[in-house]
Amino acid sequence: MARLVIDIGNTYTKAAIFEQDELIYTEHYKTLNTNILDNFLATYPIDKTIISSVKNTREEWEAGLKEKAQIIYFNAGMTRGIHNHYRTPHTLGLDRLAAVIGANYLYPGKNNLVIDGGTCITYDWIDAGGNYFGGSISPGVNMRYNALNHYTSSLPLVNTDKIFESNSGDDTETAMLSGVQNGVKFELSGFIESYSKNKNELNIILTGGDSIFFDTLLKNSIFAPCIKIEPHLVLKGLNAAIQKHND
């Protein structure tokens, strides 16, 4: 039987089909609806669904889905074998929790630093014993560009330039590129170096929409051999959580 994994974010909803650990299909939607879900149910023998949401309200399609497949709502208590030492677990973003669950499930017995590049950049570390103590949250790449434009009277809105590699800029736009993109690179390197101290076999797991870009920023660093790219880490973590729930 297949599992339907749904991750409802602020902007997009991601849906994925898993058969055991194998990711069969995934897609993201601006708006998920009953027709899309009915197509999933007609195509795959889905018996259970797990839903993770940043919203406090239910979606209209959930009632119809509940009539056709069991729904499990991901929550802070579904830790899938990790030891969550976060001081306020009820305030921990479910995407961050799912990501560390996914990291621990994919790479058990290893020290894992999860770096999620999205609207914000989050850094979450889980040790080889499955202990999670928390992490860090900083502005994402686009948020930094938007802030420079919004909070000044003369700086333009600049977009990420993935081939820009200069240490400095020779005009306003390239100076902003240097400030934001080199700033992110130095931030990434600084966090990784901090977590690497006295840690054996540290995996650096990049996920989120900017994961490939971050990999490019770090390609010439000493940390490059330790980098693993897992674009669907949150979905894989949710799938791992539902497996534990079924045990």
**Residues annotated as part of the active site:** 95
Both tokens of residue 13?
């909803």
- Tokens 């297949």 locate to 2
What is the SS3 assignment for 8? strand
In 74-229, beta strands by DSSP E: 83-84, 111-117, 120-126, 131-139, 202-207, 227-229
CA-based R_g, the chain, Å: 19
In 54-144, beta strands by DSSP E: 70-73, 83-84, 111-117, 120-126, 131-139
Strand partners, 120: 139
Both tokens of residue 191?
């966090």
Amino acid at 188: L
